[in-house]
Amino acid sequence: MVELKTPDEIAVMREAGRVVATALAATQEAATVGTSLRELDEIAATVISEAGAKPSFLHYHPRSAPSPFPAVICTSVNDAVVHGIPTSYRLAEGDVLSVDCGAYIDGLHGDSAVTFIVGSADPDDQRLVDETRRALHAGIAAATPGARMGDIAHAIGTVGRSQGFGLMENHGGHGIGRAMHEDPFVPNEGKPGRGLRLRPGLVLALEPMFIAGGNDRYRVDRDGWTLRSADGSRAAHWEHTIAVTEDGPVILTAR
């Protein structure tokens, strides 16, 4: 059963979302050539702790993973699409970096991700980043009361396919609230007018994941977490937590 959130719960999730947005802004500012991924994780951990929140990702252990996630943020570089573990790797000029962050307050979660380029940007990489972000906002715009889940999926997928990008198979967004991942699943491609009807109080994390080479397939690293494009091409990932309201979609993780 899909759980609808009360206005009070949504208000708390907005506070958690602000913490997530602040942590993402701090990591992006610090992500210069020579900075290590582990240093970015430490920055995000400090932001979350000082705000009185707790990290959603640290020690998270779904059945699909061989071990608990060991960090506060996911840092996915170049062909890593999502779930990259922060390591001692130091960022290089032109790296495409996706940072995903979650935090919770009073048991209610916020979840968001950004992708950006370190230093000088290759035009093709910049297009990938920009179009993935555009797809996210197209999906958000479709999340209106009375619409269907397929309307969100169609809006996101149309942007990706029109640009020749792959959409990582079997992955998409999700419900969020008392748990970081709740029902319903939010596909990144689908038919308009199909699926769950959207109602006020529904809170979703929308997250397009596009692959530059046009192939939807991915492979799993030996760490059991990092998911990479099967064709080795670069990827981008954007995410916001949103609430469906009587007045339309509201972004809870806005900066």
Mean pLDDT (the chain, rounded): 97
**Stretch 61-69: mean pLDDT:** 92
Neighbours of 194 (CB within 10 A): 12
Per-residue pLDDT tens for 182-233? 999 999 999 999 999 999 999 999 999 999 999 999 999 999 999 999 999 9
pLDDT higher than threshold 80 for residue 1: no
What pLDDT is attached to residue 131?
A: 98
Per-residue pLDDT tens for 86-128? 999 999 999 999 999 999 999 999 999 999 999 999 999 999 9
pTM over 0.85: yes
pLDDT higher than threshold 90 for residue 64: no
% of the chain with per-residue pLDDT over 90: 97
**What is the C-alpha separation between 171 and 214, in angstroms, rounded?**
15
